[in-house]
């Protein structure tokens, strides 16, 4: 009867197992929240303070890049942003929150930009974005990060909508990167313009590819010698060495051939001793 009612040993063990699973799941959720809170606390500390008297453009570039890389809800980003503000800058955001308590981070940055930023128009900001090119010696990841700051400014000025950012970014990267960039070719970015990746996904793929290529170049340098020569370069060096040796041998042979007539004349003036049956026979020179 107790077995039918589920109060037997089997039911008790299954109930204990379910309770243990629920307890482990709850503990995991608590730990996840603790880790996330600690990560957000560290991330908030990385934001630079801004009160309104400092230079706005460097602060905006740094803050925009940091907030964009954080994979957390917008509310958490807004909280960190507010904690980094003081003075007149904080008053601007407080006014926005009175009007709209759920104001987005994008709207907060736009409001700060309108008050503390430059008077650059949307056309000027978009032209700066389009004229940006990868510099000689600049990594493609560094170029993308620099380009992103210009794109963010163009979005704040109203030159580009937020929905167009991914496609606009990728189109300019393909246009502004150095010709036949190996990373662009390997990631097939030109073929992905119709379905462009997000900024976080793009920068992740580019950095991973840069690390892979750097490791490959390091391995080739260790394998092929200190000079880091390629197989083709090594073959060329061997070919040059062989050619130089042949040229030296030809020069020595030419000199010996040139000396041959003089040797023959000297030889004709001296007696030659022939040995026949171990008996020397003196032959007069001709």
Task: Name which of 4, 62, 75, 83 is nearest 36 in CA terms.
Answer: 75
Say yes or no to pLDDT of 89 above 80.
yes
How confident is the model at residue 144, as a pLDDT? 94
What is the residue extent of each domain of the chain? 34-116, 122-219
Q: Compute the distance between CA of residue 183 and CA of residue 169 in angstroms, rounded to an integer.
A: 16
Binning pLDDT at 50, 70 and 90, where does residue 255 land?
A: low
**Each residue of 125-180: pLDDT tens digit?**
999 999 999 999 999 999 999 999 899 889 888 899 989 999 999 999 999 998 88
| 54: DSSP letter | S
Of 84-93, 105-114, 252-261, the least confident: 252-261
Task: Name which of 164, 78, 102, 154 is nearest 123 in CA terms.
Answer: 154
How confident is the model at residue 269, as a pLDDT? 52
Binning pLDDT at 50, 70 and 90, where does residue 203 land?
A: very high
CB-based contact 176:134 (threshold 8 Å): yes
pTM of the model: 0.53
- Measured CA angle at 229 (ends 225, 231), to 5 deg: 105
**Each residue of 26-79: pLDDT tens digit?**
766 675 555 455 545 556 878 889 998 888 988 988 898 888 778 788 889 999
């Amino acid at each position: 009867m107790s077995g039918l009612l589920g109060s037997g040993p089997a039911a008790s063990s299954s109930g204990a197992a379910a309770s243990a699973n629920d307890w482990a799941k709850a503990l995991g959720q608590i730990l996840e929240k603790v880790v996330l809170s600690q990560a957000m606390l560290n991330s908030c500390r990385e934001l630079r303070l801004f009160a309104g008297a400092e230079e706005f453009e460097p602060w905006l570039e740094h803050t925009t890049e940091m907030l964009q890389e954080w994979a957390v809800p917008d509310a958490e980003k807004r909280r960190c942003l507010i904690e980094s503000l003081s003075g007149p800058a904080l008053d601007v955001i407080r006014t926005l929150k009175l009007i709209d308590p759920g104001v987005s981070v994008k709207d907060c940055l736009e409001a700060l930009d309108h008050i503390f930023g430059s008077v650059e128009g949307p056309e000027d900001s978009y032209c700066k974005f389009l004229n940006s090119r990868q510099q000689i010696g600049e990594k493609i990841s560094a170029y993308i990060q620099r380009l992103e700051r210009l794109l963010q400014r163009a979005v704040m000025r109203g030159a580009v909508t937020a929905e167009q950012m991914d496609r606009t970014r990728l189109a300019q990267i393909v246009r502004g990167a150095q010709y036949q960039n190996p990373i662009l070719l390997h990631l097939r970015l030109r073929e992905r313009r119709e379905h462009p990746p997000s900024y976080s996904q793009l920068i992740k793929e580019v950095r991973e590819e840069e690390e892979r290529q750097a490791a490959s170049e390091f391995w080739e340098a260790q394998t092929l010698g200190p000079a880091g020569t390629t197989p083709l370069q090594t073959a060329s060096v061997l070919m040059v060495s062989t050619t130089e040796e042949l040229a030296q041998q030809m020069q020595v042979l030419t000199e010996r051939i040139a000396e041959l007539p003089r040797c023959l004349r000297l030889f004709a003036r001296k007696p030659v001793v022939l040995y026949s049956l171990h008996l020397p026979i003196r032959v007069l020179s001709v």
